[in-house]
Structure 1
Amino acid sequence: MSRNDSTATSSLGATLWRQTWPMAIGVLSLLGFQLVDSAFIARLGTAPLAAQTFTFPLGFLIIGVQVGMGIAIAALISRALGAGELDSARRLGSLVLISGAGVIALLALLLWWWQAPIFLHLGAAPESLSLIRSYWNPQLVAAWVGACLYFGYSLFRAHGDTRLPGILMVATSVANLVLDPLLIFGIGPWEGLGLPGAAIATVLAFGLGLAILAWRLSRHDWLSTRGLTGELRVSVRPFAGIAGPAMISQLMPPLAAMLALSAVAGLGESQVAAWGLANRLETVSLMVVLALTMSLPPWLGRCYGAGDWQQVHRLLRLALRVVIIWQLALGLILAVAAPWLAQALAGNPEVRDDLAMLIRFMLPSYAALGVCMLVVSAGNALGWPLRAMLMSAARLFVFYLPCLWAGVWLAGLVGLAAGAALGNLLAGLAAWWLLRRVLASPRRAVAEPAG
């Protein structure tokens, strides 16, 4: 590597660090409070923890829709900014905030209406439905408020501001952690609400964050209501071309989670509880990857708008190197610390032992999973959403689920963990191959129809 290349890479790394670290801290705090949320609920017993676990796939479904729309928000606005189209960027900001809030509200209403048959189909016992419902109803409100907050984050990220979203993620997490024990267990003579208290704490914390974000947004000239109808006609097709495949990509994980949970439900209640804690730990351990999938696409989108493919190559090489080294090191450390980590998270000894086993197998494999997630995110920003969607589908339905199901059939929970790890590894290798092939001829790749 020449001295100029080394200097450019060093400068790029410093900029990537400045863009990513606020999001990494924010993601860690946000996902950390969800993990602690489950740890508090574990103290209520195995049944409440299992009840919360049954809601995870539906929660992921809502998140999948909002993230798919958020990807389109960041991509289109950052491209408009990169091309100098400031008025279009303002109109797009207004459109996505309005439409996003409406879409998530409709989805939440449908999931509330159909919750009983869905949970029964996932393997929940009929007698546990009332316990699940007590948590799920306020959690739907929390999901809608959180989605509105996320759309605001996407708008700030598209304009290159990752600091405020990171700060607000930390603030809402701290608020939730303070409210959680008060509302779940109570204080002094006041009795807590039990399982529903965890969801109500999230509603209040997200509401605080949304109020602060709305105040800060009012101080920026990033929104416009003039010419919204014309902008809608012009932008609906490219928005759908990005959001459609991205949303399908984001909706496939909840579907896979439902199918995986139905397999785990046949193993027993304590295994369901351990699987739920492992899923929470998975998202926390992927904090750097998730932060990169938030901070990198707007940057890639601006490079795409300017036609700077040399910078795209540099960014992706650097990001992939960070993901592989970080996730592999973290996964191996947590695998070694699995008994102590499981002891801290799980109250029931049986749940603790199952969780420790899941950690040992699955955490190191998240280095490969991180590669796949980064490739899918980059694909949406660089104009090949269809390839990104197909890669996401292959990860789940060609690699992950078949390996998982085969593992359950062969060796129960141990096979489940080993199969999930193998599926992640195969998906990471496939994503690496796809990225190398597409970037070898980027102009042909971006000719992919956008919808």
Structure 2
Amino acid sequence: MSSTLQQRELAITLWRQTWPMAIGVLALLGFQLVDSAFIARLGTAPLAAQSFTFPLSFLIIGIQVGMGIAIAALISRALGGNEHDRAKRLSCLVLLAGGGIIGVICIGLWLFHAPVFRQLGADTTALAYIRIYWGPQLLSAWLGALLYFMYSVFRAYGNTRLPGKMMVLSSVANLVLDPLLIFGVGSWEGWGLPGAAWASCIAFTLGLVITTQKLIRKQWVARAGIWEEARRSWRPYMGIAAPAMVSQLMPPLASMLTISVVAGLGDTQVAAWGLASRLETLSLMVILAMTMSLPPWLGRCYGAGDWGQIQQLMRLALKVALAWQLTLGVLLALCAPWLAMALAGTPNVQSELTLLVRFLLPSYAALGVCMLVVSAGNALGWPLRAMLLSSARLFVFYLPCLWAGAQLAGWLGLAAGAALGNLLAGLFAWIVLRRILSRPERQAGYSA
């Protein structure tokens, strides 16, 4: 087969694997942005209160994603080695253990929420809003984690269509419920800020009911021999999960530090930063979809020892990421005033959000490169390097540049510093990947 034909087939397969997840991610992140847009209509104080909860919400997501990365890697490797019964046992393990671990974390975050949010800079008014919102939000986080673990199993088996469809269905349900539960209908005034969290709870529950039925029908889960499998697999699982979770926990930790810096500039800036955070994840939908669809594929190639295809896949993925993200970032930066007007409820927040969009959105092309390299690392047997790269992105490049910019030029400097940090991190990740893939024979069996 010629090289051009092979690359064309890889591109078609990558498209088929990625587009369902891209649509699903767009829908899922879109409803989070819709949440924030509706809450912005309640006023600056409720929006700022929700923004304070983002770092801890990202903490839960980071843990669940780290666990999902590990289990998807092990399942895909088992499938690549024709160990189908083991793959079923691993699927059952992640659902049971993952649900229990995330549940314990949510309980702890509820019990200690007041001192944590005070440390993040929340004042008395923000804490009053957080207190009524945080309970249902933690419940929705737990339900969302269970659903994510099921999606991880489907992705490991190469099925990205069902997770994509379910993300869309959950998002539509949330979109319908949001205005009803936040603002009410008829004589009922609604629940205000907590209504957004309850809408997510109902939407995730609907997704869980349907996905569970599909998973049972596929017979991709087996309980027989699960404890023996747990004893056999916990070391390789933790070898991937621990670095992956640390990598995924870095962004929430960085987000906590960032929100502390932003809080010193005022509630308007906190509200604008919260909207920008939602817009960031939405604008990265294609990158996020590839971080979900690409690792299981890479894991199967890794299990089969096919490093030639791994190199081709990574080159293709990075080209797609750069072209798509840079084009989207420039277009959104040009439309920044109108985008801010659609999302923000007050002129002051609109002005601050416009500045963030113009600086940050184009820089996400470089951020996308770094995200793909980190996700590939967890699938290709070097999770420790992926963790160190994720740490460097945030604590060597992003946060120092953001902090220095804020000290030198306030809000403008903060936006410019964050963008510079993303650019430096993307360049560093590209250099690291080139060095690793230039010597693939040294990576097989190298776990760092």
Class of the TM-score when normalised by the shorter of the 2 chains: over 0.9
The match for 1:307 among 301, 305, 308 is: 305
Is the Cα–Cα contact under 8 Å of residues 149 and 210 in structure 1 kept in the other structure?
A: yes
The match for 1:445 among 422, 430, 443 is: 443
Alpha-carbon distance in structure 2 between the residues aligned to 1:49 and 1:151:
29
Alpha-carbon distance in structure 2 between the residues aligned to 1:374 and 1:49:
31
Partner of 1:93: 91
Q: What is the CA distance between 1:251 and its match in structure 2?
A: 0.2
Matches within 5 A, 1:31-46: 31-46=29-44
Partner of 2:425: 427
Matches within 5 A, 1:35-184: 35-184=33-182
Is the Cα–Cα contact under 8 Å of residues 74 and 154 in structure 1 kept in the other structure?
A: yes
The match for 2:384 among 376, 383, 386 is: 386
Partner of 1:278: 276
Alpha-carbon distance in structure 2 between the residues aligned to 1:284 and 1:263:
23
Partner of 1:199: 197
Q: What is the CA distance between 1:317 and its match in structure 2?
A: 0.5
Is the Cα–Cα contact under 8 Å of residues 371 and 431 in structure 1 kept in the other structure?
A: yes
Matches within 5 A, 1:295-374: 295-374=293-372
Is the Cα–Cα contact under 8 Å of residues 48 and 126 in structure 2 kept in the other structure?
A: no
The match for 1:246 among 244, 247, 250 is: 244
Deviations 1:206-225 (A, max 9, x none): 00000000111110121111
The structure 1 segments of at least 4 consecutive aligned residues displaced by more than 6 Å after TM superposition are none
Deviations 1:76-100 (A, max 9, x none): 0000000000111011111111000
Residues 1:185 and 2:183 aligned together: yes
The match for 1:27 among 18, 25, 28 is: 25
The match for 2:233 among 225, 232, 235 is: 235
Deviations 1:278-311 (A, max 9, x none): 0000000000000000000000000000000111
Q: What is the CA distance between 1:73 and its match in structure 2?
A: 1.1
Alpha-carbon distance in structure 2 between the residues aligned to 1:209 and 1:412:
43
SS at match of 1:218: helix
Alpha-carbon distance in structure 2 between the residues aligned to 1:446 and 1:190:
62
Which one is further off, 157-166 or 219-228?
A: 219-228
Q: What is the CA distance between 1:226 and its match in structure 2?
A: 1.2
Deviations 1:212-262 (A, max 9, x none): 001111101211111112111110000000000000000000000000000
Q: What is the CA distance between 1:204 and its match in structure 2?
A: 0.3
Kindly provide the amino acid, as one letter, of the partner of residue 120 in structure 2: L
Kindly provide the amino acid, as one letter, of the partner of residue 59 in structure 1: S
Is the Cα–Cα contact under 8 Å of residues 63 and 245 in structure 2 kept in the other structure?
A: yes
Unaligned ranges ≥5, structure 2: none
Aligned length: 448
Is the Cα–Cα contact under 8 Å of residues 62 and 104 in structure 1 kept in the other structure?
A: yes
* TM-score, structure 1 as length reference: 0.98
Q: What is the CA distance between 1:126 and its match in structure 2?
A: 2.6
Deviations 1:164-202 (A, max 9, x none): 000000000000000000000011111111000000000
Q: What is the CA distance between 1:448 and its match in structure 2?
A: 2.9
SS at match of 1:187: coil
Alpha-carbon distance in structure 1 between the residues aligned to 2:411 and 2:161:
41
Kindly provide the amino acid, as one letter, of the partner of residue 65 in structure 1: I
Partner of 2:262: 264
Alpha-carbon distance in structure 1 between the residues aligned to 2:344 and 2:223:
50
Q: What is the CA distance between 1:440 and its match in structure 2?
A: 1.2
Alpha-carbon distance in structure 1 between the residues aligned to 2:338 and 2:224:
57
The match for 1:412 among 406, 410, 413 is: 410
Q: What is the CA distance between 1:127 and its match in structure 2?
A: 3.4
Kindly provide the amino acid, as one letter, of the partner of residue 184 in structure 1: I
Alpha-carbon distance in structure 2 between the residues aligned to 1:278 and 1:336:
15
* TM-score, structure 2 as length reference: 0.99
Partner of 1:396: 394
Partner of 1:217: 215
Unaligned ranges ≥5, structure 1: none
Alpha-carbon distance in structure 2 between the residues aligned to 1:444 and 1:397:
28
Alpha-carbon distance in structure 2 between the residues aligned to 1:217 and 1:413:
48
SS at match of 2:121: coil
Is the Cα–Cα contact under 8 Å of residues 384 and 446 in structure 1 kept in the other structure?
A: no
Kindly report the root-mean-square deviation, in angstroms, between the aligned alpha carbons of the 2 structures.
0.8
Alpha-carbon distance in structure 2 between the residues aligned to 1:280 and 1:67:
18
Is the Cα–Cα contact under 8 Å of residues 250 and 394 in structure 2 kept in the other structure?
A: yes
Alpha-carbon distance in structure 1 between the residues aligned to 2:421 and 2:387:
17
- Percent identity (aligned): 69
Deviations 1:96-127 (A, max 9, x none): 11000001001001100110011000000133
Which one is further off, 127-136 or 353-362?
A: 127-136
